[in-house]
Amino acid sequence: MKRLTYTFDNGPWPGATDRLLDFLKSRNIRATFFVVGERLNDPAARRLAERARAEGHWIGNHTLSHGDPLGFSGGLERVRKEIGEAEKLLGPLSHPRKFFRPNGKGALGPHLLSPEAVEYLTEHRYTVVTWNNVPRDWDETRAGWADRAEATLEAQDWSVLVLHDRFIAPMMDSLERFHDRLLARSVAIVQDFPKACVPIRDGRLEGDISGLVTQDPP
């Protein structure tokens, strides 16, 4: 049986995340929201993160500012700010396993992390969560995201789907149709992540992660 995990990045966004939470609640779906720390300085956005956690969704750290990927500019001072300061803002909202998703602009590769970031993540016992299904709901052909997601789903047993609160909210009808197609095909909707998408688990390296770490930082 194929499996799919819903994840949502870059929020929370009032007027968007709330619509998404309404949909997830109506379908009894549990997802993970990887939030940008600075967004939580907006009280309305923080209330949405609190609601998400209260409704059974997991909350993860998606950096403080969602700026350049840490593999491009990831010295220890910036790592402490982008990961550590975001985690402080999350506070009790954070999942106990301290989920962290690096900013990668939709692509995996050595731009994701610097050696300093890896050292920080392991020392502070983070769990790093990547992805394997990014249908680009933000680009010019965003209306076709569902077809792209389904095509990728066909090629693998377990999809970790990346969508974005503020881009998917204006297309909720497409999310509803996509989810209905999953149910019709008996795709299992799960909240956990496959091992292949967890390169660091509770501060322990899970195999070779060199493909995610820059070796020659600028």
How many C-beta atoms lie closer than 10 Å to residue 75's C-beta?
13
Q: What is the pLDDT of residues 14-53, one digit of tens each?
A: 999 999 999 999 999 999 999 999 999 999 999 999 999 9
pLDDT of residue 180: 97
Q: How far is CA 132 from CA 118, 157, 160, 202, in A?
A: 20, 11, 6, 21
Q: What is the pLDDT of residues 177-198, one digit of tens each?
A: 999 999 999 999 999 999 999 9
> Residue 57: left if φ>0, alpha if ψ -120 to 50, beta else—which one?
beta
Q: Does residue 217 have a pLDDT over 60? A: no
pLDDT of residue 142: 76
Q: How far is CA 118 from CA 123, 126, 207, in A?
A: 8, 10, 13
Cα–Cα distance measured from residue 189 to residue 192, given in angstroms and rounded to the nearest whole number: 9
Q: Does residue 218 have a pLDDT over 70? A: no
- Average pLDDT over the chain reads 96
Q: What is the pLDDT of residues 125-158, one digit of tens each?
A: 999 999 999 999 998 777 799 999 999 999 999 9
Q: Does residue 97 have a pLDDT over 60? A: yes
Residue given tokens 């909240």 in the structure block: 191
pLDDT of residue 143: 78
Between vectors from CA 105 to CA 182 and to CA 181, what angle results, nearest 5°? Answer: 10
Domains of the chain and any CATH numbers: 3-210 (3.20.20.370)
pLDDT of residue 115: 96
Number of residues assigned to the chain: 218
pLDDT of residue 160: 98
